[in-house]
Amino acid sequence: MSIACREAEQLYARPVHYHRWLIAKGNYFSPSSAAIVKLIERLRAEQWIIAPKAPDMTKLRFVGPRQERARSTGGYVAQTVETPAGADDLGRMTANIATQPAAITAAWLDAPDREELRLVWPASGEDPLPVKYPLSQKPASPVSFALELHRAHDYVYPASATIGAIPTMCRCGEDLAFGWDEDELVPAFEGSSGIYAECEACSRTFDPSQGTAVVTNPFDGTRHEVRGGAAYRFALKVDCGDRFVADAGLAFARELVAVVEDEFGREFYEVGSKY
């Protein structure tokens, strides 16, 4: 077998992963740190995420160098940081990862180096887990997923073949799209690009909802025009890895959506993609 054929076979054999985002309508929404703390407390109280020192923590498996950082408090945090000099692949993969504090406070969230932040609560193990499943259909045991909370000053935009782009040109002619230079930075948001919230050239604010993007359901191929596409400054995300139900109707659990909408007093919409 040729090298090209072997590489193609390996690529084809890679497991397919599924991610889903819950994004505020209007896209510009970015809640205060105090509001995020309230949401986290409610997610813990209603068993969407594990609480630090919860007796059932031992029922969860934390596999790999990133998830190991969640073993003591139930979650880890990813921030955008400078790439460490001389870091190998493992060092780079964990350079921006730290254990979440047991008590997440507004002061902790407001620290200047946490402007781009991804809070992650991994949950893996035999069903039933001590936390609720965040999507509408649960795969057979063992179950594995991570519930994530994302916050950024500028807009984050997932890179996916099934999530079309939105127009990013300012009225002054400046393109507001950007990418994190991964030679210099380890970004909090993997597999994503960014859009500046304000134009440096003319100081106009950018409103993603003024444009639309074509989003394709990865399971049945149906296409929809979505105002604002998948741009967000705040979102919840579920990373299912390769453990998910491949169904076109797969969505966030309605109970979880209701919690988020109730906390913030606004509607949210969903976008999903396979990787």
Q: Please check the confidence at residue 2 and state whether its pLDDT lies above 50.
A: no
pLDDT at residue number 10? 37
> Does the residue 11 lie in any domain?
no
**Overall average pLDDT of the 72-98 stretch:** 91
Residues with Cβ within 8 Å of residue 209, at least 6 apart in sequence = 25, 26, 27, 28, 227, 228
Q: What is the pLDDT of residues 242-267, one digit of tens each?
A: 999 999 999 999 999 999 999 999 99
Cβ neighbours of residue 88 closer than 8 Å, sequence gap 6 or more: none
Say if 65 falls within a structural domain. Answer: yes
**Mean pLDDT, the chain, as a whole number?**
93
% of the chain residues with pLDDT over 90: 90
Q: What is the total count of domains within the chain? A: 1
Whether residue 8 has pLDDT greater than 70: no
Which residue range forms the structural domain that includes residue 242?
Answer: 16-274
| 135 closest CA partner among 247, 266, 230 | 247
Q: What confidence tens digit (pLDDT) does each residue in 187-230 have?
A: 999 999 999 999 999 999 999 999 999 999 999 999 999 999 99
Beta strand segments in 61-116, E: 76-79, 81-82, 97-99
Residue 263 lies in a domain: yes
Is residue 2 a part of any domain in this protein? no
Question: Is 8 inside a domain boundary?
Answer: no
Per-residue pLDDT reduced to its tens digit, 100-114: 999 999 999 999 999
203, part of any domain:
yes
Q: Phi-psi region for residue 249, left (φ > 0), alpha (ψ -120 to 50) or beta?
A: alpha
| Average pLDDT estimate for 158-182 | 97
- Residue 6 within a domain: no
Per-residue pLDDT band for 156 (boundaries 50, 70, 90) equals very high
Task: Note the pLDDT of residue 14.
Answer: 60
Measure CA 168 to chain center: 21
State the pLDDT at residue 88: 85
Q: Examine residue 3 and state whether it is found in any structural domain, yes or no.
A: no
Omega cis (within 30) before 128? yes
pLDDT at 93: 85
The band of 13, judged by pLDDT with boundaries at 50, 70 and 90, is very low
Residue 269 has pLDDT above 70, yes or no: yes
Task: Indicate the pLDDT class of residue 44, thresholds 50, 70 and 90.
Answer: very high
Q: What is the Cα–Cα distance from 127 to 145, expressed in whole angstroms?
A: 12
Structure-token pair, residue 228: 């604002």
Quick: pLDDT tens for 112-138. 999 999 999 999 999 999 999 999 999
- Confidence check: pLDDT of 4 > 90: no
**Residue of higher predicted confidence among 132 and 12:** 132
